[in-house]
Structure 1
Amino acid sequence: MAQDLALAQAHAFSLSRILMVPITLFKSGDEFDVLPSDELDDEDDLEIVHEYEPW
């Protein structure tokens, strides 16, 4: 699982720098994923791991 987290962190950082928007890394169940921070809703059942700022 640590390898999955490292891969998700690398993708989140890179995506944030490419799009120049905040990106949130979150865990849902046993999986990690990333989305632009403004696409997350308060009622989503997600465990926020980190938010990456492009600046």
Structure 2
Amino acid sequence: MSHDLSLAQSLAFQLSRDLMVPVTLFTVNGEYGVLPSNEIDDDDDLQIVHEYSPWH
């Protein structure tokens, strides 16, 4: 988790490219996190910031 949005964005983009899967940048309790998009459930209490695709 990170408090720095620009760092989280950079890491999310790079993770997407390294894993070659879509990843989602989210915020919860004032911190940013990244998960592969297929691991996020609708029941999770996350505010989605952006989804990164390795193909775009």
Shift in Å, 1:51: 0.1
CA distance in 2, matches of 1:48, 1:4: 15
Deviation by residue 1:2-40 (Cα, 9 ceiling, x = unmatched): x70000000000000000000000000110000000000
User: Normalising by structure 1, what TM-score?
Assistant: 0.94
CA distance in 2, matches of 1:15, 1:7: 12
**What are the within-5 Å matches in structure 2 for residues 1-55 of structure 1?**
4-55=4-55
Larger helix fraction of residues = 1
SS of residue matched to 1:38: helix
In the alignment, structure 1 segments of 5+ residues that lack a partner are: none
Shift in Å, 1:48: 0.1
CA distance in 2, matches of 1:48, 1:29: 13
User: Normalising by structure 2, what TM-score?
Assistant: 0.92
Alignment length (residue pairs)? 53
Aligned-pair Cα RMSD in Å = 1.0
